[in-house]
Amino acid sequence: MPTTPLRLAPPAGNGAAPRLPRLATGDFVNLADLSRKEFLALLDLAADIKVHPGRYRDLLSGCGLAMIFEKPSLRTRVTFDVAMQEMGGHAVFLDFTESPLGEREDIMDVARNLERWMDAIVARTFGHESIELLARSCSVPVINGLSDASHPCQAMADFLTLREAFDEFPRIKLAYVGDGNNTLHSLLEAAALAGITMSVATPPGYEPDAAVVARAQALAQRSGARLSLGHALGAALRGAHAVYTDTWSSMGQEAEQTQRARDFAAYQVNEALMARARPGARFLHCLPAHRGQEVSVGVIDSPVSLVYQQAENRLYAQKAVLAALILGHAKGGHPPHAAHSARA
């Protein structure tokens, strides 16, 4: 059976220094890189930041974040920028939408320049290998803001939302319906770390990556999580406390839209499909959503929808990740640039 989540002791008093988890990996590339203790500690930190933002107002004073974006963004760009500002730091946006990362200049050289000016890098890329190379090439933390392989920041916000929505967390079942994409990959890893039950229904031919599934199943064996994957909607939805879906065609898959619309038609999350889940089941979507395609208007705009709570929680989850990485110094062994400046 899933065990009870670990809890961090809150800071003692409104002005006290927060207790920050130390992430052994030094980066935030895939959730599977974290231990269960680290994952749950980040959730606890995010929850405390949300309730007591004043405790963290100057936590990253003088620190800088480089934001590398190959893809358009609303939530990722705004929440990382606001997160740094609200914790006393600053962010610099680097637009790689016209010239992909590594085309104009080697990724290694980009990394080794940025590490001399900034305290962390967040990258939103097409190729996952670009983020991995960034992380290997520099001494400051690298955060995966989204890649074609995973979306760990989104899954952190989603599980913060699930904890808020369900008093019985982690004794819940999450059903995912739709494409076996990057979001699903990170949700599987998060479910395995959290110790919940998660079932997945994808159309044939759209299953998640087998290596990611194997990695998540290995984590689940240690946490007590139960992960099941298949094509049958009934099995996935039966007893589900929450139902999650994502767009049928991600960025870079526009040419497949017509075929995907046919293949995914039976997997639309509408009122009839939600009725197959647990009474009162909640709906989740990482956004952007396409009403009338993967989800009906009657579901996404109904009282059971948590999509805007998820979006809000991106801010707090990412604050927790930034604080733990920048102040943890697990990677490179040296303090952030703000500390260098203070000693100068």
Annotated active-site positions, please?
A: 124, 151, 154, 246, 286, 314
User: What gap in Å lies between CA 130 and CA 146, rounded to an integer?
Assistant: 11
Name the token pair of 35. 């231990």
- The Cα 329–Cα 77 span in angstroms is 24
Phi, psi for residue 226 in degrees, rounded to 5: -125, 115
Number of H helices, E strands in the chain: 13, 9
- Angle (nearest 5°) at CA 269 between 264 and 272: 115
CB 89, CB 61: distance < 8 Å: yes
Write out the two tokens for 304. Answer: 């059971």
Residues sharing a CB contact under 8 Å with residue 283, sequence separation 6 or more, in sequence order = 242, 243, 244, 269, 274, 295, 299, 300, 302, 304, 305, 306, 307
Q: What are φ and ψ of residue 281, in 5° steps? A: -60, 145
Report d(CA 32, CA 216) in Å as an integer.
Answer: 7
Percentage helix, strand, coil, to 5, in the chain? 45, 15, 40
Residue with tokens 């104009």: 104
As to burial, measured by CB atoms within 10 angstroms (0-12 exposed, 13-18 middle, 19+ buried), residue 91 is buried
* CA–CA gap between residue 335 and residue 341 (Å, rounded): 10
Q: Are 231 and 204 in contact (CB under 8 A)?
A: yes
d(C-alpha 212, C-alpha 214), whole Å:
5
